[in-house]
Structure 1
Amino acid sequence: MKDLEDILAIARDVGWKAADILHSYYHGTVKDPDLQVQYKQSEPVTIADVTVSQYIVQRLQAAFGEQDFAYISEETYKSQLQLQNSQLVWLIDPLDGTRDFINKTGDYAIHIALIQEHRPILSVVAVPEAETIYYAIKDGGTFKETPTATVAVKLSPTKPVEDLTLVVSRSHRHERLEYLLQNLPCQNQKAVGSVGCKIATILEQNADIYISLSGKSAPKDWDIAAPELILTEAGGNFTHFDGSPLQYHTGDINQWGGLLASNSNSHQLLCQEAQRILSEFDRIKKV
């Protein structure tokens, strides 16, 4: 296997070029700008999703082959069962935030993560409309790269819990999540699409917390893995509400339950509060 730094250099280049492809679809500068929107399980898929997925997978396969690596993309995923023996797994979301991409909010991203033993060891998150990629290697820190500069990202939380800002979804809302958000000790909220863009907002210190609470569906491995590593390597936290670490490539692509990402030294307190509030909600609904 290549050195992780060498692998990262290729993944960063793939991220930049994939961002260029999405950017051209977003701004309608491709030869055929029709996004050909379809819906699968009520979620939109566009020709941009498919094109970028093919590009990323083909580039990575050409660079690394299939002997040591498996490749799981949101747009090509069928079953992980035949991949369980793979030591290294690429988790790819070619377009995180498709609804925002279609609605032209600018909040869409590309996620590329390398998983080993159920944990991310390398990740790239590209945010095309910001002309930025964030990248990290396990125990190597997080970096922000633009066309003109590369800088290390290090979080230094100082706010009291009541002053923290939650970054929340414009969609994927349900009663249980609404109750939780309304009863947390911090009530400042900022709406941002795409998990990658939400975590980027925390890295840019324009928000402090992101909460995911599964309902009838849950975020998938490719939604979370790359954003998790760029946050944690910058000094943030990303755990289940009980404080346990997230696991990927386990045979179930869903990240069920409650997840909390933060830049805050109040992370443990917020996890405990979230569990208490949800227990209260469940008691109320049983009455």
Structure 2
Amino acid sequence: MSKGELGIVEKGKNDLQTEADRSAQQCIVSSLSLQFPSIKIIGEEDQSSNSCPTPPEWLVTESDPNVLGLQCPKDLENVKEEEVIVWVDPLDGTSEYTQGLLDHVTVLIGVAVGEKAVGGVIHQPYYEYQNFAKPELSPGRTIWGISGIGTGGFDPKVAEEGKRIITTTRSHSNALVQAALDAIQPDDVLRVGGAGHKVMLLMEGKAHAYVFASAGCKKWDTCAPEAILSAAGGHLTDMLGRPYQYHASVQHLNASGVLATARKEDHAWYASRVPDSVREKLSS
């Protein structure tokens, strides 16, 4: 961004990749592989075409002592390294990044054991970037969550009661998405980019639910947000209320859309409002 040349490559329709995507994934994968050589890492960007060695200054070798000092949940104490799958979206909201909508941009690192998302990181590299002379000078903000422990890096809030505020896709809407939104009858709809950004709106008390009744996002989009949202008391499933799986051989596409709620107890109501016509389309 500071060079003014993002190195944009078109991977497909409405699917962009920039030098930031490639570099961030190289940094993340190399750093995790160095410390945990037996884990399985699945990233959004194709690593096979990137044969360049990772610059030493990119490698992260330190860990947060405050997190390491926490008591590990009993059900995770005996997990073997080779049982861990890490889903990496090095830059969630690439389209918004290329358009300068930097508050939509996140870095997502989700940790799964077996089929379940158990931990995650959402990094916002441009958090409150408007307060800085240059966006790249923003120190950013890192959010984390672990099943059985809770969250850190932010103060979760609950959205205003008596209203129904929904967040959904900014650039990938269609008739199915709109039909689901209409059935919920929201008071307001926040159309923003990036799954990580949408889930952050739920946890910051700016929206009650995230509704996306369409295939499109992938496991690396939802693993980290799901883990952190769950640790904060929320819930994320497909639009039919079924849990997504995150084992190494699962298909990457979230074919049945995404339904997430800030409070787990509200989730069943939103799932019940999904029209049969939308259910049939997403089930086929």
Same structural fold, with TM-score higher than 0.5 when normalized by the shorter chain:
yes
State the 1:214 CA deviation: 2.3
- Who is 1:54 aligned against? 26
Unaligned runs of 5+ in 1: 1-24, 79-84, 145-150, 283-287
Q: Does 1:73 align with 2:75?
A: no
The structure-2 alpha-carbon separation of the partners of 1:243 and 1:183, relative to structure 1 and needing over 3 Å to count, comes to closer
Contact between 1:118 and 1:247, CA under 8 Å: does it hold in 2?
yes
In the alignment, which residue of structure 2 is the partner of 1:138?
147
Task: Tell me the equivalent position of 1:112.
Answer: 109
Query: Which structure 2 residues correspond to residues 200-211 of structure 1 after superposition, within 5 A?
Result: 200-211=200-211
- Determine which of 3, 7, 11 is the counterpart of 1:40: 11
Larger mean Cα displacement after TM superposition, 52-61 or 232-241: 232-241
In structure 2, the residue matched to 1:244 is: 242
Assess if the C-alpha contact under 8 Å between 2:117 and 2:227 holds in 1. Answer: yes
Cα shift readout 1:151-171 (whole Å, capped 9, x = no counterpart): 553x556724xx110112211
Does residue 214 in structure 1 map to residue 214 in structure 2? yes
Task: Check the 8 A contact 1:167/1:207 in 2, yes or no.
Answer: yes
Give the letter for the 1:257 counterpart. S
Give the AA of the match of 2:112: I
CA contact (8 A) 1:180 1:277 kept: no
The 8 Å contact of residues 89 and 221 in structure 2, kept in 1 or not, is answered as yes
Q: C-alpha distance in 1, partners of 2:257/2:170?
A: 18
State the match for 1:6 in structure 2. none
Amino acid at match of 2:125: P
SS at match of 1:274: coil
Structure 2: gaps of 5 or more residues: 49-80, 128-139
SS at match of 2:222: helix
Report runs of 4+ in structure 1 exceeding 6 Å deviation.
none
How far the C-alpha of 1:199 sits from its partner, in A, is 0.8
Q: Give distance in 2, aligned partners of 1:223 and 1:252.
A: 13
For 1:34 and 1:243, the matched residues in 2 are separated by: 42
Report the 3-state secondary structure (helix = DSSP H, G, I; strand = E; otherwise coil) of the residue aligned with 1:266: helix
Question: Once the 2 structures are TM-superposed, how far is the Cα of residue 186 of structure 1 from its aligned partner?
Answer: 2.0
SS at structure 1 position matched to 2:126: helix
Q: Percent identity?
A: 25
1:132: Cα distance to partner? 1.6
Contact 1:49 1:95 in 2 (8 A): yes
Could you tell me which residue of structure 1 aligns to residue 52 of structure 2?
Answer: none
* Residues 1:122 and 1:274: Cα distance change in structure 2 (over 3 Å): same
Task: Please name the residue that 1:121 is paired with.
Answer: 118
AA aligned to 2:237 is T
SS at match of 1:247: coil
In structure 1, how many angstroms separate the alpha carbons of the residues matched to 2:266 and 2:186? 11
Q: Whole-Å Cα distance in 1 between the matches of residues 5 and 185 of structure 2?
A: 45
- The verdict on how the C-alpha distance between 1:156 and 1:170 changes in structure 2, with shifts beyond 3 A counting, is closer
Structure 1 residues 170 and 152 mapped into 2: Cα distance closer, same or farther (>3 Å)? closer
TM-score (norm 1): 0.75
Instruction: Note if 1:175 corresponds to 2:211.
Output: no
CA shift for structure 1 position 185 = 2.8
Cα–Cα, structure 1 residues 33 and 184, in superposed 2: closer, same or farther, change >3 Å? Answer: same
Q: Deviation of residue 187 (structure 1)?
A: 3.5
Query: For residues 127 and 157 of structure 1, what CA distance do their matches in structure 2 show?
Result: 21
Q: Which string of whole-angstrom CA distances, capped at 9 and with x for unpartnered residues, describes residues 195-225 of structure 1?
A: 111111111101111012224xx21110010
Higher helix share: 1
Residues in 1 aligned to 2:141 and 2:275: alpha-carbon distance in whole angstroms: 35
**CA distance, structure 2, for counterparts of residue 243 and residue 192 of structure 1:** 22
CA RMSD of aligned residues (A): 2.2
Task: Note if contact 2:176-2:214 (Cα within 8 Å) is conserved in structure 1.
Answer: no
Alpha-carbon separation, structure 2, partners of 1:141 and 1:77: 32
